[in-house]
């Protein structure tokens, strides 16, 4: 029976949640087991990508949000937070990017206006068909 030694390689974890784009562990890490060519099984600490944070796997060590509850999205250079049960993006100074509640209300109003216009157009088309049919009936009755 052969035995395989297990060697654990641990990269230093980030000490705090700093906004440091150069820190490969800025989102967190996971441990991955792999076998080297010499047969030794190693466990390596691998940094998480933004994609990993959005689709975590069991065992991922995702860094917690900052004291405001926001997550730093380094590729986009924005903070992601929640305000009044809505996801909000913030710039590096903490200012919201857009007014999401106003945008949602404007979108709802636009959808409602479009549906009302479509209803009125369908009613008008139906009335035109009725009038055309009546006109044809009147023309036939004169001849």
Global model pTM greater than 0.75: no
Q: How far apart are CA 69 and CA 4, in angstroms?
A: 43
Structure tokens at 82: 């929640």
142, containing H or E segment: helix 100-142
Could you read off the pLDDT tens digit of each residue along the chain, which spans 143 residues?
444 444 433 344 333 344 556 777 777 778 888 888 888 888 888 888 878 877 888 877 777 788 888 887 766 788 888 888 888 889 889 898 887 778 888 999 999 999 999 999 999 999 999 999 999 999 999 87
Exposure class string for 21-31: b at 16+ Cβ within 10 A, else e: eeeebbbbbbe
Q: How far apart are CA 38 and CA 33, in angstroms?
A: 15
């Amino acid at each position: 029976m052969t035995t395989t030694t297990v060697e654990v390689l641990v990269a230093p974890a980030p000490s705090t949640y700093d906004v440091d784009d150069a820190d490969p562990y800025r989102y967190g890490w996971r441990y991955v087991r792999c076998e080297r060519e010499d047969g030794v099984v190693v466990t390596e600490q691998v940094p998480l990508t933004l994609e990993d944070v959005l689709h975590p796997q069991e065992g991922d060590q995702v860094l917690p949000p900052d004291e405001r509850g926001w997550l730093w999205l380094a590729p986009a250079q924005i903070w992601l937070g929640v305000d009044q049960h809505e996801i909000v993006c913030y710039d590096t100074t903490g200012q919201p990017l857009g007014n999401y509640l106003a945008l949602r209300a404007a979108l709802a109003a636009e959808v409602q206006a479009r549906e009302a216009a479509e209803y009125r157009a369908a009613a008008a088309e139906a009335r035109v068909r009725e009038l055309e049919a009546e006109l044809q009936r009147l023309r036939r009755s004169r001849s």
